Amino acid sequence: MSAREQQIRAARGGSFLFEERSSAEVFTREDISEEQQMFARVAEEFMRKEVLARSEQIYAKDWSVTVDLLRKAGELDLLRVDIPEGYGGLGLDKVSSAYVGEQIALMPSFGGSLGAHTTIGTLPIVYFGTPEQRAKYLPRLATGELIAAYALTEPGSGSDAMAAKTKAVLSEDGTHYTLRGQKMWITNGGIADVFIVFAKVDGERFTAFIVERGPGVVSGKEEKKLGLDGNSTTALMLEDARVPVENVLGEIGRGHVVAFNILNLGRLKLGGRNIGGAKLALNNAVAYANERHQFGRSIASFGLIKRKLAEMAVRCYVGDALVWRTLGAIDCALETVDASDPMQALKAIEQYAVECSIIKVWTSEALSYVTDETVQVYGGYGYSQDYPAERAYRDARITRIYEGTNEINRTIIPTRLLKSIARGEWPLGEVAARAMDDALYRTDFGALDLRGAEYVRHTLRDAKSTTLIALDAAARKYGEGLAEEQEVVGLLADMMIDVYAIESACLRTEKLVAERGADAAGAAIEMTSVYASDAAERIADLAREFAAAVTDGDDKSPLWAAFERLAPLRPIDTVSARRRIAASLIEANRYLW
């Protein structure tokens, strides 16, 4: 089997809990090609020279600058990446798209405008448009001649998107729908020409429409927000807006398919931007810590600052491992389907709904952690608008809310997996029973003498076993009623998230060692061990909380015994390991991975 075939086989969504992976089977950031790096360099240069140079006007809400910059981005082909070749696009893979997307994190406000246009504004037409709709809109979206936005949320329906009140009524002559209602939090609301609007036909059948700006399509005033204050965000009032029947997007009554599938892609790409933003913040923090002197020495020389810098680096490293592994897996899956059939592509992507939600939650929380600690490293200056830490901190907050709140995404993670288990895709009962037996009769506790890759592999196996046993116990105890036990669902989600994170970091590092040798991968090995050690502790803790909840206080339940035997012993000195990680950051004056 070729390496590529191996990757495609291994890439199956949800497989991370049930199968063991080798590093040759996964994509990592280090596998990004020279051509993909060149694409990203164009985006980075554009951001630095054109966008950052106009920050002042953008933050002063001069949207004509934003519109000009979007068109300029179009000239450089940055808006064409995800559009198919026949419609003025480049039809590039998701790795290229996300790598270009990562660069726009240099300015999250403008990144929001560009991302809303290229992802949630354009992709619904790419995937659900008729040939006529695609031919009419995509070439002009590819150049930025038209700017797009996505209008799903309403004042009364956020996470519960299907409860939308916006209504669409077919005209008597059958030529158009009349839309009436209000949408909220529309990124690009003030500048968009085309909106993907969700409304209920006759108040019942939830449907997507392509709505052009025109009579009855009215933008509200600019919202005053905590962060992302450099992009236009408004309400959208639909006051008997006439939309031709040709502009129904997808099937009538199937708007949820459009809405939810596009969110999977949005979550995935958001992951790349989140870690991109985290790396920027970390680089600022390292440089500042090196430069700032107190008590006659740089603050980077103090242990508690080193600890912060090291942990920030760990999050960046693991986050990239998660994001690029998943992107690579999805690209592999897309290679096996007919590229000209967008429905097949969407099905392939949807298979990774669990991984996409994991990425959304993990990377947004990593970004929040890193930007918060960056403020702390800057001290008083972190609180000042004259330094970059303050804005990064504010801009980060929304990432835990939009593209599905982290709570909604946490509920998706175990329930989606349990659905595929119920369909017979994975033999949970069997695998969990084996894990339980192995745990109860194990003799190889310790792992005290293990280090590096062996230690991480050992920890990963135990974390997976713990999680599988817990999932199985929850499925047995609650069955269909699990959805109502949200706290338990949340515990399961957090275990699954950490398992995927440990494994992704482990595979990235093993690949690095295989390709560059252990010396060159030194800090990567340390970062992976530190993460695995902490995550294993977290998983063991979650498992105890879980056991207490599902056994109703029965301490004779074998769950307790199994979880205790799978709980880690801390053989790794994470204090020293973090010092060494910090030393490499401080010496290079930036994050190098």
Partner 1 sequence: MKIIVCLKQVPKNDSILRISETGDWIQDRDLTYEINESDAYALEEALQLKEKHGGEVIALSLGPARVQSVIKEALARGADRGLHLEDPAFDKLDAFGIGAVIAAAAKTEQFDLLLTGLQSDDFGFAQTGVVAAELLGAPHATIVMAVEVAEGSMRVKRELESGYFQWVTLPSPAVLTIQSGINTLRYATLKGIMAAKKKEIKKLDAAALGLDSNVLAPKQQIRRVYFPQKTKLTEMLEGSPSEVAAKLLDRLANEARVF
Which residues are marked as active site? 403
CB of residue 39 vs partner 1: minimum separation in angstroms? Answer: 5
Whichever of 453 and 512 has its CB closer to partner 1, that residue is: 512
Q: Is 38 in the site for partner 1 (CB under 8 A)?
A: yes
Beta bridge partners of 177: 170, 243
CB of residue 581 vs partner 1: minimum separation in angstroms? Answer: 17
Number of residues that bind partner 1 (CB under 8 A): 20
Q: Considering only residues 100-139, where is the footprint of partner 1 by CB under 8 A?
A: 100
Phi/psi of residue 446, nearest 5 degrees: 40, -95
CB of residue 524 vs partner 1: minimum separation in angstroms? Answer: 15
Six token digits for residue 177:
């729908």
Going by their DSSP bridges, the two strands 233-244 and 297-298 should be labelled as unpaired
Rounded CA-CA distance 95/328 in Å is 6
Of residues 8, 21, 28, 39, which one binds partner 1 by CB under 8 A?
Answer: 39
Under DSSP, is residue 163 helix (H, G, I), strand (E, B) or coil? Answer: helix
* Distances, alpha carbon 403 to alpha carbons 209, 406, 565, in Å: 19, 9, 38
Whichever of 47 and 238 has its CB closer to partner 1, that residue is: 47
CB of residue 585 vs partner 1: minimum separation in angstroms? Answer: 12
Rounded CA-CA distance 389/274 in Å is 15
CB of residue 76 vs partner 1: minimum separation in angstroms? Answer: 5
Q: Is 304 in the site for partner 1 (CB under 8 A)?
A: no
* Distances, alpha carbon 134 to alpha carbons 96, 131, 137, 258, 364, in Å: 22, 5, 5, 15, 32
Whichever of 45 and 437 has its CB closer to partner 1, that residue is: 45
Rounded CA-CA distance 250/253 in Å is 9
Which one-letter amino acid corresponds to residue 225? K
Q: Is 591 in the site for partner 1 (CB under 8 A)?
A: no
Span near partner 1 by CB under 8 A; candidates 40-48, 229-237, 295-303, 349-357: 40-48
Under DSSP, is residue 222 helix (H, G, I), strand (E, B) or coil? Answer: strand
Identify the helix (H) or strand (E) that includes residue 293.
strand 293-294
Q: Is 589 in the site for partner 1 (CB under 8 A)?
A: yes
Q: Is 578 in the site for partner 1 (CB under 8 A)?
A: no
Whichever of 388 and 568 has its CB closer to partner 1, that residue is: 388
User: What burial letters (b/e) apply to 310-319, b meaning 16+ CB within 10 Å?
Assistant: bbbbbbbbbb
Phi/psi of residue 207, nearest 5 degrees: -145, 145
Phi/psi of residue 76, nearest 5 degrees: -85, 5
Rounded CA-CA distance 471/465 in Å is 10
Of residues 42, 170, 433, 548, which one binds partner 1 by CB under 8 A?
Answer: 42
Rounded CA-CA distance 24/243 in Å is 51
Rounded CA-CA distance 286/581 in Å is 12
CB of residue 276 vs partner 1: minimum separation in angstroms? Answer: 17
Rounded CA-CA distance 539/30 in Å is 28
* Distances, alpha carbon 126 to alpha carbons 82, 116, 173, 263, in Å: 8, 14, 29, 14
Whichever of 471 and 512 has its CB closer to partner 1, that residue is: 512
Rounded CA-CA distance 220/237 in Å is 7
Handedness of CA 509, 514, 518, 521 (dihedral sign): negative
* Binding string, residues 43-82; x marks residues near partner 1 by CB under 8 A: --xx----------------------------xxxx-xx-
How many CA atoms lie within 13 Å of 34's alpha carbon, on the beta-carbon side?
A: 0
Provide the angle, in degrees to the nearest 10, between the axes of the packed helices 303-335 and 486-516: 90
Three-state SS annotation for 451-479: CHHHHHHHHHHHHHHHHHHHHHHHHHHHH
Rounded CA-CA distance 21/11 in Å is 10
Whichever of 77 and 494 has its CB closer to partner 1, that residue is: 77
Q: Considering only residues 17-36, where is the footprint of partner 1 by CB under 8 A?
A: 34-35
CB 320 within 8 A of CB 29: yes
Q: In the 8-state DSSP scheme, what is residue 570?
A: -
Rounded CA-CA distance 498/535 in Å is 6
Binding region for partner 1 (CB under 8 A):
34-35, 38-39, 41-42, 45-46, 75-78, 80-81, 90, 92, 100, 588-589, 592
